[in-house]
Structure 1
């Protein structure tokens, strides 16, 4: 395996194109900042969201305020502005890729229009289980003058609510917000409902129309203990004026639930949704208390069972040389074999206190990969390895043992690590150099997501960088997306690093990437992932099990 300093022409038996020395390009972090994009991942089962390192800058939030669950993120989505990824997850998964546009609200006067594009990873039943995507901010559409009228009206209401909350806090008073809707009866005019509620209002209170089917009531000096009574009085007034209307109400209180108008309105709307779903006249928001879940422990047990039963398999997808489209490498992934014989990609690996599940999985995949290389002398394979595995003291001895038992395989193996390792390049340079000393290549996956810098890439012995597919998927969208991709390619080539692109699914994108100098491509255009064939001895053991 050639080193980075030997240039890309020596990589993988001359498959890569010749490197040309160019002026040092802009670093990837600066290019990503110019793109105004942030990469994220969402695990549907655990609801956990992880963000790229530039998320606080792009979203304008402190790190501690970033939404860490899909549920928390969905509460930032402006109602009616468009489907977010939780809405898309409820679909049948027939379209793995998605591209949506909606608004995120962070404050009464702060709304951002975003483009959300990504791809689902499906489980064995074809249902979405993991999402990898990229949020792009549209600064022009986010200007206050260009926002839709419904969003402007909601901003005005939220500013009014915030003023009420601030005034109540100064006077040590309370503020209750009620949101109401009539039961599936669009014939009831909200203006009529608002007029019927006037006897409930005191000085400083007000009624606002949220939409053709919803309204809001702000009550000052109404504590949480009196909120249910206030909602019963509101229902009685509406019922007296409009006997045919069946009213549902949800309420939230400040300071009991929050001091922020945006959250107070969302909590009241959540309470209303609960009232509608349960067919109850009124529901008061309740603060959710964190409870310890056993889901992670169960996931670890399921994973250990799959390992013991040999149900984890090596899935291989072809990687072609960009100019010629000839097979050059195979990309390996951990996959789970289903009862029907099909395979599905393994989702996020759960954490555990007593064991390192990532090391167990990567150790099993290493064993299968080394066996595959030993049985196929012409094969060259890229094997992903988790950062937790690299940091485990057992990894290097395990790697040396498997490669030492199969002479000739090290030079045809590339161990690909996530770009997150570059967050602290000094901590991983030793293990990476030790891996290079074994004769294998070092790859980088998720290239461009915000962790890589020119300095960190220079410090580490990286041979191959695979651009994250979220950037490939949006190539045809705009000049900015194409410029970002070319910046990544030029920067890697400047350092003598070969570049691969994943999620290449159409001919137009493949031609663009080849023209820009990408060395390798993988995606459905060149073949889907399939389980690697097991040797006869392994098949016999599997059948006996």
Structure 2
């Protein structure tokens, strides 16, 4: 009903009579006219089915209708009209509310109530005319959307967004000491693999029920991610945090979770943090809880760690952040360089090939060795970018220097990096002659971590014409089976066994054994970390074909010219 109709001088009674039959009823709505002073309601057609009453006389008065209404404070028709702060200036005062009605069958139904009230000469509500519309289906949809935005679909617990909201509330109020626990099911991947993902879901639901049974009414429990749960503990002091964590872990540990495949025994680990003492923001609280959880997992299963600030840890983080920025900047500014260390033939004394070692050129010109940044790059997930750049530089060198052979190290993650391999394949196929002068080195520990994946990686490189070397040979679980499974061309004995070779009989025995093992498969050997002439002689006598070490030749940013490459061994 628009205000223009009323301003034209038409009475609301006439408007209601004219339109209710042919418009309102046609769309399933029910019109009404409420004479407020007499407290009488006149209902239009279709009132019985919409209101769920067998006799409209039972809702003939506003009082009777109000007795059937279930509404929050301020949401009933009576309160909306009678306590309105607006004034009727001739066109009526619009209102729109939603509430539930109790029907004659014991059920409840949602309605939307839209209308206008009109004032008497004194400005008091005299008449209200409006329309009721059934909105049960819409409310169900809205409730479902609200539930999906609030609760985890699988467990019925608070979802991540709402859990963070509860955490924010605790930090904002900060009236009493509180805490946050982040708990993770140990080895959920193993459960999924052994029993199936459906059983894994049953385990998650079972854990939710256990934790819910241990939580207090004031606590907020939610599912943080796949196998992780978060608990916001209100009114929990730091000294009680360990006891709470142990009680929650025990509730899961002490009794197996019943599933459709039978009982499944599980454990959990937890990271705990006191609030607001050790975190003033949600992001900081979550980060510290994740850190404590990671520490708990590194200890052993079924453990918890309470976060404690550490200046050394923060300094290390700042160093990591600074180094990450420096690495990205060096990559963008082309300040990643190769240093070439010669690898000599033990017989001829001539350099046979060069190992490519990564270096970072600082902005001030200083050369930074790999040991200063590679471990951090691996931890921060930047090693793949560095491997890619090293590969590009090695290919450039092979093109520029057709007289040299190079050995290129790759990290563990790169052996499964499809983009790195595709880029190398593209480079070598465009210039097939490069592959015969390139040796790709992978460490033994990486190779045996996933033999099938390593074998596939090696096979593709060999098909291109590259040679493959096993680096750090002897540092892993060397066996005849491993060497037979990996179709490699060269092995490099881990330098720790060459170090102090003359004085250390254990190292002598180990090197001799590794040499015999490799020669059994007709594989030539490189000995690293060679440091003196006596080691050169002993390794040569043991049958080692190639030697590498600072004593023989240090890494250099510049390759020697072909005519300058001379014998370095006596």
Using structure 1 for the length normalisation, give the TM-score: 0.43
Q: Which of structures 1 and 2 has the larger relative contact order (alpha carbons within 8 angstroms, sep 6+)? A: 1
Higher helix share: 2
